[in-house]
């Protein structure tokens, strides 16, 4: 089975950082897709159906919460696993993330090891 991970962040260096953190998964056949805003992310998710999406909350055009809500609630693409990444770690933000359907809510800066192990677990890749 082909695995796809979509990395969504309006900051190029964060997209690059996440990509570098996960790059060893490429050897296991994982394809990486990126988007710099929520609108593009929504299009890619509908076309490519990635299994896993790392989604930044604070973005122009459409924020991560809205993208997540549309994917989970409107399009009902429940097989798409969404990890919301945010600089805001407050409980209220976390609750909002859960309400819009995020599977996991992680705060930045994130631990690269945790990111990698979560991706492996979600995509069911054994080491």
pLDDT in tens, 47-102: 999 999 999 999 988 999 999 999 999 999 999 999 999 887 788 888 899 999 99
CA-wise closest residue to 49 among 27, 29, 31:
31
pTM: 0.94
Domain ranges of the chain: 3-122
Predicted pLDDT of residue 94 = 86
Across 23-50, average pLDDT: 96
Contacts 24+ apart (CB under 8 A), 120-125: 120/25, 122/51, 122/52, 122/81, 123/3, 123/5, 123/25, 123/30, 123/51, 123/52, 125/3, 125/25, 125/28, 125/30
Domain 3-122 falls under CATH 3.40.50.2300: yes
């Amino acid at each position: 089975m082909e695995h796809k991970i979509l990395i969504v962040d309006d900051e190029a260096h964060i997209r690059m950082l996440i990509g570098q953190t996960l790059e060893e998964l490429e050897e296991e056949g994982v394809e990486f897709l990126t988007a710099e805003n929520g609108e593009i992310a929504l299009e890619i998710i509908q076309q490519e159906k990635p299994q896993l999406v790392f989604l930044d909350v604070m973005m122009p055009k459409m924020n991560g919460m809205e993208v997540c809500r549309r994917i989970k609630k409107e399009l009902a693409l429940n097989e798409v696993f969404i990890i919301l990444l945010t600089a805001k770690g407050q409980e209220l933000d976390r609750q909002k993330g859960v309400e819009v359907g995020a599977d996991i809510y992680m705060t930045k800066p994130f631990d690269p090891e945790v990111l990698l192990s979560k991706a492996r677990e979600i995509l069911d890749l054994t080491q």
